[in-house]
Amino acid sequence: MTEAGFIYTSLAFVFRAAWPGSDASFDYFFTWDPPHSPWSSFPSIAFTLVGYLATIFGLRAAFNKGILTRPNPNSRQLKTIFLLHNIALSLGSALLLAAIMEEILPIWLGKGFFTAICAKESYTGTARQLYLINYFFKFWELLDTVFLVVKNKPLTGLHVFHHSATAFLCFTQLHGHTSVQWVVICLNLAVHTAMYSYYALMSLKVPCPWKRMVTTSQIVQFILDIGIIYFATYNYFVSTYAPAIPHFGKCAGEESAAVFGCIIISSYLWLFVDFYQRTYSKKAPAKIQRAAIVAAEKAYQTDGLATPADQEADYTAAADRKIKS
């Protein structure tokens, strides 16, 4: 087993010191030990995601029917919550990205990229624990949808599917012990670092020049994901079932996890390309495109409650209104 790096060791020390419970409870929560550890069994993840869907749609119905009173979107408390949410996820994503790369880079530089994405030795105990933290992040990010409902924003199929499917994707890869998963995780963390920082700045009414780059980077992320995980999956199946066909070697991981990962990431690419085309479609006149985007951005700057979910909700809704008008 490789020795844990400085970033990981430092973060582990800080989190353990700040943990409100006992050392035993800390180890229980941050150790992947299915089916005993949190969200490590199928019933637990299924129950959580069903609860997520029931919560967001039930909450929206309760607000719309007047059963619950929608909070004032201009309240200082809500603005502070959304701002802290974005800042924390941006910083957390950056630190987690740095810790994973600190673990993987020595393998990559020392033994090559194929070893880094396919060999069992790249799936270290430290890496698995970092992947587990990334998995927990996906449940935290479900709050994006709750914020949409609180702000009375439309819920897009892209947003709801992406958030729920990503949590389940992380679950399958942890169970499948896929060595290549660090590629998908790191690209996602890099995008989230930029994305959540973008919305934190928007909440503070600080102009950001990279609005379109946020969606573009997500599409590039999925293209890179597909290229690398398809390559790893190809090598797994060929080395296992048709070794006479040219390949580089065997890739570690379970078949079901590899296939599910390919399907989900491919669906993400299709959905985000469709979103990008609808948002920045060349079929619509440039003035309409610009008016739709400006309308959404003005909403951010007015209420100061920007979160990543707003990009899908407001840009799409504004573009649809402008094109139909």
Residue 47 to residue 42: CA distance in whole angstroms: 8
For residue 200, which of 95, 93, 299, 90 has the smallest C-alpha distance? Answer: 90
Q: How confident is the model at residue 111 (pLDDT cuts 50, 70, 90)?
A: very high
Q: Are 117 and 180 in contact (CB under 8 A)?
A: yes
With a CB cutoff of 8 Å and minimum separation 6, the contacts of 182 are: 100, 104, 116, 117, 122, 127, 131
pTM for the complete prediction?
Answer: 0.88
Residue 209 to residue 212: CA distance in whole angstroms: 8
With a CB cutoff of 8 Å and minimum separation 6, the contacts of 30 are: 15, 129, 132, 133
- With respect to residue 85, please indicate whether it lies within any of the assigned structural domains: yes
Q: How confident is the model at residue 205 (pLDDT cuts 50, 70, 90)?
A: confident
- With respect to residue 22, please indicate whether it lies within any of the assigned structural domains: no
Bigger pLDDT: 287 or 168? 168
- With respect to residue 278, please indicate whether it lies within any of the assigned structural domains: yes
Question: Of the given ranges (31-45, 50-64, 166-180, 309-323), which has the lowest mean pLDDT?
Answer: 309-323
Residue 197 scores a pLDDT above 60: yes
What integer is the mean pLDDT of 4-25? Answer: 90
- The CA distances from residue 136 to 146, 150, 227, 305, in Å, are 17, 23, 26, 24
- With respect to residue 136, please indicate whether it lies within any of the assigned structural domains: yes
- With respect to residue 140, please indicate whether it lies within any of the assigned structural domains: yes
Which domain, by its residues, includes 136?
38-324
The whole-number pLDDT of residue 207 equals 80
- Give 88-143 as a DSSP string: HHHHHHHHHHHHHHHHHHHHHHHH-HHHHHH-GGGS-HHHHHHHHHHHHHHHHTTH
Bigger pLDDT: 33 or 310? 33
Residue 157 to residue 150: CA distance in whole angstroms: 17
- Is residue 162 part of the annotated active site? The answer reads yes
Residue 69 to residue 82: CA distance in whole angstroms: 19
pLDDT tens by residue, 280-325:
665 555 554 555 455 445 544 444 455 566 655 555 555 454 444 4
- With respect to residue 163, please indicate whether it lies within any of the assigned structural domains: yes
Residue 5 to residue 11: CA distance in whole angstroms: 10
- 3 state DSSP class of 77: helix
Which helix H or strand E contains 24, and what residues bound it? Answer: helix 23-29
Question: Which residue among 162, 177, 192, 247 is the active-site one?
Answer: 162
Bigger pLDDT: 94 or 320? 94
- With respect to residue 142, please indicate whether it lies within any of the assigned structural domains: yes
Residue 60 to residue 298: CA distance in whole angstroms: 24
- With respect to residue 1, please indicate whether it lies within any of the assigned structural domains: no
Which helix H or strand E contains 219, and what residues bound it? Answer: helix 211-241
Amino acid found at 296: A
- 3 state DSSP class of 244: coil
Residue 193 scores a pLDDT above 70: yes
The whole-number pLDDT of residue 312 equals 59
Residue 186 to residue 134: CA distance in whole angstroms: 10
Q: How many domains does the chain have?
A: 1
Q: How confident is the model at residue 278 (pLDDT cuts 50, 70, 90)?
A: confident
